[in-house]
Amino acid sequence: MSGESATPGPTLFQQQDANRHRTTLLVVCFVLFFAWLGFGGDYIYYLATLHNLPYETHHTFPWFGILLTVVAAWIAWYGYSTGPEKVLWSTGAHEITDPATDQEKQLVNVVEEMAIAAGIPRPRIWIVDDPAPNAFATGTDPQHAHIAVTQGLLDLMSRDELQGVVAHELGHIKNFDVRLMTTLAALVGVVLLIRDGTGRFFWGGRSGGRSRGKGEGDLGALVVVLLVIWILSWILAPIITQMLAMAVSRKREYLADAMSAQFTRNPTALANALQKIETSDAPATHLKAGAAHLCICDPLDRKLNDHPGTLGDVMASHPPIEMRIIRLKGMGYAQAKAEGHLPPDTPRA
């Protein structure tokens, strides 16, 4: 039976709602994960001291679990509310409030035009003094959004190409991608800091003594197993959160590319911009790993991004640029053909 119709994709409002729910779920999982680390540590400590002698330490109150849960909740709130400012601060971006050069005036004009096309308020505009061409958006919603481009991007792009890049970032803002990805950037950084700090505490400050309780042999195996799982949780936490950030970024880039084509009605412009970014050999000096998944292209090592497959699909922060360019050129071809700008026999790009 061949009369089945294709399942329609989610609407813009459904995508926005999904990103709101993902952000909430992300924060809840973050707090629950640290609650497990805290209360799990308390339980392991309780078992390890259960058979201590009366005058030795007996851990009975879950102070570590309560403290870590409260701290995680505060960090999640603080990271969500101040994430955009922290991302911009980490890149050394400076805001354009009164454009002084022709490049700055053109950038402001392009952002204003594309904001009107996207139907959202004009975001605040920033420039990162980085020679590598790139751009990113951050914020919590379209009313509190920022767009940043590098000096290298301004130096390299034509006006049409700059439009394509800006429209891509406004697509992230309109979809509420920025809320999810900025929160991820904040939480990834926090996990790395906490992991490093606790690692120094546990591995550098462990006591060489051991419990002399009568029943310690009965619980020894259980304590060891739980301790191994607990330590692995600390070790894997930053890896898992970074992989999550990369996966979120990969899924959103194709959609933002399509929205750029919709806003500019010129998908070839973004394809050309991506090609220039891909072939540029200027080093990224200000965009680091914490903000990599926010950028239009990976500012760091793109070897994994350029090789689709199991490893690249899991570890890369962006889909392959070549695939994105092919899709955009396909959109351009379809648009030109629909508008009658191509002869019927013109081969597809």
Q: Map out the domains of the chain as residue ranges.
A: 12-338
Rounded Cα distance, 260 and 170, in Å: 8
DSSP for residue 4: P
What is the distance between the alpha carbons of residues 132 and 292, in angstroms, rounded to a whole number? 13
Please pick, among 4, 169, 216, 322, the residue that the annotation labels catalytic. Answer: 169
Whether 169 is a known active-site residue: answer yes
pLDDT tens-digit map of 4-58: 344 445 555 566 676 667 677 777 877 888 888 888 888 888 887 777 777 777 7
Q: Confirm if 45 and 59 have CB atoms less than 8 A apart.
A: yes
Q: Using a cut of 0.75, tell me whether the model's pTM lies above it.
A: no
- Which residues is 137 bridged to in the sheet? 147
Half-sphere exposure for 198 (CA within 13 Å, toward CB): 20
**What is the chain's pLDDT, residue by residue, as a tens digit (349 residues)?**
444 344 445 555 566 676 667 677 777 877 888 888 888 888 888 887 777 777 777 778 888 889 888 988 887 787 777 888 888 988 899 999 999 999 999 999 999 999 999 999 999 999 999 999 999 999 988 999 999 999 999 999 999 999 999 999 999 999 888 887 777 777 766 666 555 555 544 554 444 444 444 444 445 676 777 777 777 776 776 676 666 666 665 667 888 999 999 999 999 999 999 999 999 988 888 887 667 778 899 887 655 555 555 455 555 667 888 889 999 999 888 877 777 765 555 555 5
Alpha-carbon distance of 272 to 284, in angstroms, equals 20
Give the gyration radius of the chain's Cα atoms. 25
> Among 53, 261, 94, which residue's Cα sits nearest to residue 165?
261
